[in-house]
Amino acid sequence: MRNMLIPFLMAGLSLAFVADKPAYRIYDPKGKDIPYSKMVRQLEDADIIFFGELHDNPIAHWLQRELTRDLHASGGKQLVLGAEMLEADNQLLLDEYLGGMITEAKFEDEARLWQNHKTDYKPLLQFAFQHKIPFIATNVPRRYANLVYRKGFEGLDSLSPAAKEYLPPLPVVYDPELPGYKAMLEMGQMGHGTVNENLPKAQAIKDATMGYFILKNWSTGQQFLHFNGAYHSDNAGGIVWYIRQQEPGLKIRTITTVLQESTDSLEQNAAGKADYTIVVPENMTRTY
């Protein structure tokens, strides 16, 4: 009988030493673990917040919804939402949906939505609809980003005045030495021979356009919460850089999302990318 009990005792001991499995942890730039509630309190007085996501990460999308709810509930600045996932020439459709003039189904039928819209971004739009929160389609129409990829910024000059309404004022300021753009060019060169030097320019027109429409739709007393891929706002580059060229005095805060084998600490290569780093286990399930 005693021998029969040993496997059960051993199993109990092994279970006792199984570690907790947190779905995420949040770290400040110095690598200090901070609670979500503290991050929210610190964000309440920001003018613009960039929530940098990994597009297929369910934890980032869940926290985007929670942060939207909590900032709205804080009763502080008037909240405005915006997203990379919606293009500027769909703003009329978006306004008509949020204003109750067209149905959600009609909006989804006519807008160019991402494949994970229904699971990841639709809840944000529904929250905006329910609480009458402005939601801005900030990204450049993808056909114009493709035009820059093929012809450089000069290709934009031939567009009609109506088309240029969906762009920032031309010519667009561009710094090819920004780390994000340099890395993109270097990555494109790895193992692929000659790379199109317009590749980072196509990224820059997205960043410049998003920055332009964020500032166009923000005013004093408001808080703009923007959802975008982390690479558009990491290291104060991308959209953040463009906004600071126009409004250097704004209080901007950034959030990024990274995958790590362990969430127990912030790895050195992730430190300093943003004001807040959400660390998610790398084996986390994906939304697509």
What is the per-residue pLDDT for 241?
Answer: 98
Q: What is the CATH number of the domain that holds 249?
A: 3.40.50
pLDDT of 95 reads 98
What is residue 16's predicted lDDT score, i.e. its pLDDT? 55
List residues bridging with 277 in a β-sheet: 27, 256
Q: Which domain holds residue 70?
A: 20-90+139-276
Predicted local confidence at residue 25, as pLDDT: 98
Domain presence at residue 213: yes
Distance CA 185, CA 198 (A): 9
Residue 266: inside a domain: yes
Residue 217 located in a structural domain: yes
Mean pLDDT by 10 residues, the chain (288 residues): 54 60 95 97 97 98 98 93 98 98 97 96 98 98 98 97 98 95 80 78 98 98 98 97 97 98 95 97 95
Say which residues have a Cβ less than 8 Å from residue 164's Cβ, sequence separation at least 6.
156, 170
| pLDDT recorded at residue 168 | 98
Q: How many domains does the chain have?
A: 1
The first and second tokens of residue 49, run together, are 């917040």
